[in-house]
Structures are given as structure tokens and as C-alpha cells.
Structure 1
Amino acid sequence: MNACGCGHDNLRPVDQAIAELLEHAPRPPATERVPIDMALGMVLAEDVVAPRPGPAWDNSAMDGYALRACDLPAEGGFLPLAGRVAAGDEGLNALPEGHAVRIFTGAPLPIGADSVVPQEHAKPSECGVWLPACWPGDHVRRCGEEFLRGARLLEVGQRLRAAELGLLASQGIASVAIYRPLRVGLLSTGDELCVPGEALRRGQIYDANSYSLAAALRGWQLEVGELGRLPDDPTACRSALASAAQDWDVIITSGGVSVGEEDHVKASVEALGELRLWRLAIQPGKPFAFGRVGQTAWLGLPGNPVAALLCLQVVARPFLLRAQGRREVLPRAMPVMAGFDWPRANLRRQYLRAWLTSTPGGMRVVPHAWQGSAMLSGLCGAEGLAVVEAHRVLRAGELVDFISFDTLAA
């Protein structure tokens, strides 16, 4: 126990614990190549460079008329039309001097044209079109103005969202190299747990953690193996952990890491591998633990449902995303004015379930009434987490960090 610096009164600061987890994150999984329509949420395993400039040729940004700006006087003037070009057309070879061309958004700019006048500013007639004066480059997308051929479009470690997939498709890239999904084996512990749908006996509770934790993990595009529920038996616990270590990249357990006589997970991990970290200065979630079973990383979450899910999202998520190959792994907090007082400093950092509300004085963050570590309704009624640092007394109107659940879901 002394090797991990986890004395009875030694609670590890949250940021320090996350940094330690990141230091021990395993290498990313093996790579594979997939079509881009199967790559949503996946993590790039190699840089992507542009095979052509963007745009690939000068084109119109508007429906209107292409021309040479110098062909119009300062007060505007009339130009005869020399043709029409739409998106998908090869375009005209050259624009005759003193003429304009009817053009549509995305259509290639005729050779010699240097500007486009939007159609709403034009006055067409049977003989041509009257156009106001313009400047060279108006409403023109120049070849390569966004990026040149060979430019790095995306970097290894980026998560592929809708925008990234659109960019790949716009460059004609049909497949990408990604890291295969991290494989996470998930175990809940406790004789009291019962599967939803079954009748409860006296003293039993339904297993919420298996469902909430698996859902969060799958939301990060990780592969989840739901390995069942462990009884409060040390032999069964060691056997299940040893088996999971053979088949999964990471093991996650919920419950069994506190100080009760029936909490056998932590002791089993120490018997099979190593306990690196235990007990954080966080509320809820103090019993969080980290170590390895054999050579497989293990994350031990608290048993209370809110504490388990928040520790997964706040503490374990950066580790799991780094193990998946992600480059950016820490959630972004935004400072918001507190709509509440926190009059008594706490020894642990508080993650209050909260929502944002608009007031005449600006946006305020307000905590939910239910803050217990087993009160899932408070979590459901919140938009995110208000973070009150350890030892801090907070007054309404002061700034406090707010982490949106949307940030933690990706």
C-alpha cells in the first residue's frame, strides 16, 4: 500500500491522479483501414495530406455574373453576356474583353474573369446585364486559398466527426487508417445486485452501473464486454479478474474498492498485479483506484451509481481516450458566474450536478437539489458539472468552472 502513496489520510488530488493515469496509458491498439462511412467517432492512426488544392480551381461563391472588374466604370455599367456556366460544367476557355458570363455557385470561373457580382445586385435585360462596380476577387473562391496540395488536413490522434468525414470526402479520400476500438471489459460487484426485469429480494438493488457505464464507454466508440456481476467472494473475484486480463485491453470494475469487509476487488488486484493509486480528493468518488491485473490496466470505480459514472467521465475518460490513441483528452471547462453560495470549504474537489440559467446579469450555473452519490435523478436533471475546488469558499457571482455533459460524451 505504501508503494502507491495511498495512506489512510492521503487523498490524491484529481489533476495529479489524471496525470499519473496518462503516464501509464498503454500504447494505442492496432491500426486498420476502413471506409470513411464507417469511421465516425474513430481515431486517426496516420496524418492525412491533401491530394489536391482546395478549391481545386477558381470558382464562384455566388449565383451571379462573372467579369473582369476593370471592365466596369466606377458608377457601374452595362456588359453584354458571353455565355453561361453552371456547377459541373467545364467552363469557358476565356472571357471576351468587355463581357460578362452568367455563373452559378461552384461553377469554374472563366479564364480572364476575376470577380463575381451577385445576381441580386444585377439588372439583366435581353441584350446583357447592368452591373455595379466591383473589386477583383469579389465572391471568388481562389484555387488553393483553403489549402495547397500536400498540406496536412488531419493529424494522427484526431477523432473523426461529421466535419472531418466531409473534408475527407471533399478530397476524394475513400478510406482512412484508424486505431481499432479499445476493448474494455466491464464488471460490477456485489451480492446485492439484481438484473433489471427480475424480481428484487429483500436487501437487493438493481444494477444501474453496468448500463450507465457501458453506455458512456460506447459513446466514446470503445468496444465493451459486459462480463457480468461478481459476488462478494475473493476467490471468484480473483478468477474473474485474471480471466478478463487475458481477453481485454482494459478492465473496469464498479464497487469493491472501498474499505468494507466485503470489498474484495482491490485486494484481488494487489494479489494479481499492482495497485498504483487509491482514494482521490474528489466528491463524489473518493474510493477510485487504478492499477494493473497482470499486464492489463485496471480502473476501479466506486459502487454508488453517480460516483461511478462521474469518476468514469472525469478521471477515467482521459486515460481511456489516450489509450485509444486520442490526442486531446482533457475536457474543456468554461468559467461561468455561480448562481449559488458555497460557504464551507471542503477538503475534496466538488463536482456538483448543475445546469445553466440565463439572468439579466448574464449566464449563471445553479446546482441541482439532489447531490447524493447514489441519486441518479440529480444527474439526469443536470446539464453538466460545476467544479468547486478543494478549500474554496464560493460566493454567488464569482466565477466557477462548468463542464458540459456534451463535452464529456464525445
Structure 2
Amino acid sequence: MTTLNDLSSCIAQFDPNAMPVHGAQAIVRQWATPVATTERVALRSALNRVLAENIASPIDVPAHDNSAMDGYAFDGAVLATLAGNAPPEGEPLLTLRVAGQAFAGHPFEHAIAAGECVRIMTGAAMPSGCDTVVPQEFVTRGQNERISFEAQRFARGANCRHAGEDLAKGQSALQTGRVLRASDLGLLASLGIGEVTVRRRLRVAFMSTGDELRSIGEPLPTGCVYDSNRYTLFAMLERLNVDTLDLGVVRDEPAALEAALRSAAESADVVLTSGGVSVGEADFTRKMLQTFGDVAFWSLAMRPGRPLAFGRIWSGGRSGEGRPALFFGLPGNPVAVMVTFYQIVREALVAMSGAESQAPLLIAASSTQPLGKRAGRTEFLRGVATRGPDGRWRVAPTRSQSSGVLSSMSEANCFIVLAHDRTDVDTGEAVDIMPFDGLI
């Protein structure tokens, strides 16, 4: 198990108290315990929920041998009798009499005789004694309900889908921890399963702190700004399908902040704040944590997002009393909020939801310009990635990399990830990019 002492050798050069990103991620994973409560929900309410049971197929899928084509079903054994018997003028022709027809949901229920076939449609059950289908476009229809085709084109078993070919009865269909997608709901429906057991949604409370913040619709005095962080946090949390509790803006007053944090811990599994975790005189959040919580780290060796407090708070007002909740004190700058959420917070929320962990997608791209970088911190630049005519990815940083310029996040389509020990990047040198698609 990873401890703070184990990570002490990795402390960054920029700040003796700054935790490397990979070390912070390890601690967060250690503290993120999945919710234990489960519930039974109808299939149409299960999209994006975390499956809490292993599901085995109760039936064969498909349930019976069926045709993969519109055509004619017959006993493929007859093909062997024609092998090597090609007439001098061309391919050997197989002529069969049509004994009936089979449609999806309306099978042909009689036995066929030698030299017979059945007109069949895609998805229809294969008639007894038939194991091969010739597509209708390869068939010549003759008189007296007879068809002919070049037998050498087909092998026995062609165009036949077998029972259990997709899933055999008793075979594992879905595993616990899966975030159910549209295709999964279709799969479960094909098995006749109408309800599944899922984990309770994670409950996340969030708030902004600062006397300078105003909500949308309020007057904007000199020196004040509209609060954007709660809107970005809300949107990012919605993508994770958690239950959210918006606690609004909390002023820079110790009593108000303590009351808000304790109330949030009482009702939520995770509490997020933005602002109030740096070293300013009005930054009370870190002091509060030390009073009625446990602090794992409060500074990261990353840019943007150095001031980030992580730990646990208790609703009882003192450490160990009342109900606990994980706490993330995010920076106040809007870009830093988004970067720290995706690099530190998101993985914890996924783990606490009980979902399987999936590492973010990283793609190699060449930098279109030099990038300055000192070893000792991980940097996440906003970038615009394009794919050239040669099929290779290229990336350029956005015009501004200030952590206060939120428009740069809208302009970008990826993060340029410069690892902890990396130094300057030359034009054309490879870097890792983390696409926003599917993330933000």
C-alpha cells in the first residue's frame, strides 16, 4: 500500500511540499473506496449505471441455427457429391426443388427430402436437415419450383449462423464494474433480462468560495467576477452520471465555510470546492481541513493546478466524528479547476462509483513549435491537434496558456502532456496528447 513516506523521495523541485502528479494519483486511488449500496433498476433506467453483478447468458444467442442471407436452405452434404464432376462446358450445376418457405418468426416445420431446398429469409430458423444457404442472387429459377446454381462457389455450412454462436447458455455476458452502454442494454434485452443490479450513484457536493464571486443574474461590482467554476464542475460531473448537490457560493468567512463543509460531508460521498486553498490571507479551506479532517496533500507539482488540497472531512466537526467524505479543494482559476478535475478527481469518482478503471487515452503527436519545460513538475498545456495528409498527428498550443483564460479550453481539443521529468521540447519532437473527445 502506498504511503506518504514511500513518496517522499519524489517531492518536486519547485516546492518542498508539492506532490508529484503520479504520487497524488496513487494516494487518491488508495483512499477511494467504492460505494457498497446497490439497487435493482429496470433496463431503460440502467444506461451509464455501474453494474454490480456478473451476468451469465440464460439462453443460447442466437437461440437456433438461422440464415445469414435471403436465399435457399439445403443439406450441404450434397455439395460433396458434385466435387470433381464438372461438365466439359463449365461449372457443375446443382438443381433443387423448392419445398416451402421460411421467414423470421415463421419457420418451415416439415422435413425436406433429398434434392429439396427451402426458400428462406435472413434470421429465419434453419429447417430440419438444412445446414447451408445459397444467396438468392446466385440462383437461377426454373420451372416446376426448381432452382439451379453453381455448386462449386459454396462450402457446406455457408451463410448459416449457429445457435450459441454469439453467446452460449451459461457463458459470461457482462462483468461487475462495467458502465452500461447502449450496446449493453441491447445485449441484455436479447437475453430476456429486464432488470439489473447496479451500484448506488455517487453523491458529490460542490461549491465555490470567494467574496469576489457573483452568480449569474446578479450585479457585477468592480473587482468581482461571475462564478464559472460551478458550471464547469456541474457539467463534468454530469458526464460521470453522479448525483450532484450545488451548494452555491460560500463567502470567505471561517464560520460559513465550516458550516458548509460539515453539511456537505453529512449528505455527500465527495465534496469539491474551488478557491481558498492557496497561501492567501483569506484562504481558510486548508485551515478547516486541519481542524476537522485528514490532509493527504495540499500542493501538486503540476501546471496549472499547483494548489490542490486532498483529504477527508467529517460532519461531526472533529476528525473521526460523524460521517466522512473525501474532499478535493481545487484551485480558483477556471482552467486549473478543469485540469485538476480530469487529472486527479475524475479517477477517484470513477473508482468510488465501483466502475472499472480505464486510463485516459494518450496519442503521440509531433509539436509544431518549441515548448519550454523544466523538469520537476507535470504540465498540461491546452492544444489543438490535427491529422496531416501523412496520417500523423500534429499539435500546437493554444494562443494563451494562462490558467485564468477559460476560452482557451473551448479553443483546444486536447491536453499536451509534458511528464514530470521532461525538459524543453523542440519543433517536430514527439509529445503525448490526451484528446478531449469522450473526456470533457
What are the superposed Cα offsets for residues 254-312 of structure 1, whole Å, 9 maximum, x if unpaired?
Answer: 11111111111111111111111121121111112210111211111111111101211
Q: Distance in 1 between matches of 2:139 and 2:365?
A: 48
CA contact (8 A) 1:14 1:281 kept: yes
Q: Distance in 1 between matches of 2:367 and 2:112?
A: 62
Partner of 2:267: 247
Q: Report the CA distance between 1:29 and its aligned residue.
A: 4.2
Q: Distance in 2 between matches of 1:115 and 1:291?
A: 65
Q: Distance in 2 between matches of 1:300 and 1:132?
A: 74
Q: Does 1:299 align with 2:333?
A: no
- 5 Å-filtered alignment, 1:168-247, equals 168-247=188-267
Partner of 1:364: 394
- Local SS of the residue matching 1:407: coil
What are the superposed Cα offsets for residues 49-89 of structure 1, whole Å, 9 maximum, x if unpaired?
Answer: 10011111111111122122232435342221111111112
Q: Distance in 2 between matches of 1:118 and 1:339?
A: 53
What are the superposed Cα offsets for residues 364-393 of structure 1, whole Å, 9 maximum, x if unpaired?
Answer: 222222221111111111222121113333
Q: Distance in 1 between matches of 2:385 and 2:137?
A: 42
Greater shift in the superposed pair: 146-155 or 43-52: 146-155
Q: CA separation of 1:366/1:65 partners in 2, compared to 1, >3 Å: closer, same or farther?
A: farther
Q: Distance in 2 between matches of 1:354 and 1:232?
A: 34
Q: Does 1:87 align with 2:93?
A: no
Partner of 1:308: 337
Q: Does 1:397 align with 2:404?
A: no
Counterpart AA for 2:436? F
CA contact (8 A) 1:257 1:263 kept: yes
Q: CA separation of 1:332/1:67 partners in 2, compared to 1, >3 Å: closer, same or farther?
A: same
Q: Report the CA distance between 1:37 and its aligned residue.
A: 0.5
Counterpart AA for 2:430? L
CA contact (8 A) 1:29 1:324 kept: no
Let me know the Cα RMSD of the aligned residues.
1.9
Q: Distance in 1 between matches of 2:124 and 2:41?
A: 32
What are the superposed Cα offsets for residues 346-405 of structure 1, whole Å, 9 maximum, x if unpaired?
Answer: 532121222321223322222222221111111111222121113333234333222222
Q: Distance in 2 between matches of 1:263 and 1:300?
A: 11
- 5 Å-filtered alignment, 1:343-358, equals 343-358=372-387
Q: CA separation of 1:398/1:78 partners in 2, compared to 1, >3 Å: closer, same or farther?
A: farther
Greater shift in the superposed pair: 217-226 or 270-279: 270-279
Partner of 2:73: 66
Greater shift in the superposed pair: 244-253 or 331-340: 331-340
Q: Distance in 1 between matches of 2:311 and 2:413?
A: 31
CA contact (8 A) 1:331 1:407 kept: no
CA contact (8 A) 1:88 1:107 kept: yes
Q: Does 1:375 align with 2:393?
A: no
CA contact (8 A) 1:29 1:323 kept: no
Partner of 2:146: 128
Q: Does 1:342 align with 2:342?
A: no
Unaligned runs of 5+ in 1: none
Unaligned runs of 5+ in 2: 84-91, 315-323
Q: Distance in 2 between matches of 1:240 and 1:302?
A: 18
Q: Distance in 2 between matches of 1:336 and 1:124?
A: 58
CA contact (8 A) 1:238 1:269 kept: no
Greater shift in the superposed pair: 364-373 or 256-265: 364-373
- Local SS of the residue matching 2:129: coil
Q: Report the CA distance between 1:226 and its aligned residue.
A: 0.1
Q: CA separation of 1:70/1:310 partners in 2, compared to 1, >3 Å: closer, same or farther?
A: same
CA contact (8 A) 2:364 2:393 kept: no
Q: Report the CA distance between 1:179 and its aligned residue.
A: 0.7
Q: Report the CA distance between 1:343 and its aligned residue.
A: 4.3
Counterpart AA for 1:405? F
Partner of 2:123: 106
Q: CA separation of 1:220/1:356 partners in 2, compared to 1, >3 Å: closer, same or farther?
A: same
What are the superposed Cα offsets for residues 205-225 of structure 1, whole Å, 9 maximum, x if unpaired?
Answer: 000000110111011100000
Q: Report the CA distance between 1:131 and its aligned residue.
A: 2.4
Q: Report the CA distance between 1:176 and its aligned residue.
A: 0.4
Partner of 1:12: 19
CA contact (8 A) 1:332 1:407 kept: no
- Local SS of the residue matching 1:9: coil
CA contact (8 A) 1:188 1:254 kept: yes
Q: Report the CA distance between 1:95 and its aligned residue.
A: 3.2
Q: Distance in 2 between matches of 1:54 and 1:60?
A: 14
Q: Distance in 1 between matches of 2:183 and 2:161?
A: 20
Partner of 1:332: 361
Q: CA separation of 1:385/1:112 partners in 2, compared to 1, >3 Å: closer, same or farther?
A: same
Counterpart AA for 1:276? A
Partner of 2:160: 140
| Max Rg structure | 2
CA contact (8 A) 1:80 1:128 kept: yes
What are the superposed Cα offsets for residues 310-367 of structure 1, whole Å, 9 maximum, x if unpaired?
Answer: 2111210000010011112432222233333324435321212223212233222222
CA contact (8 A) 2:331 2:337 kept: yes
- Local SS of the residue matching 2:155: coil
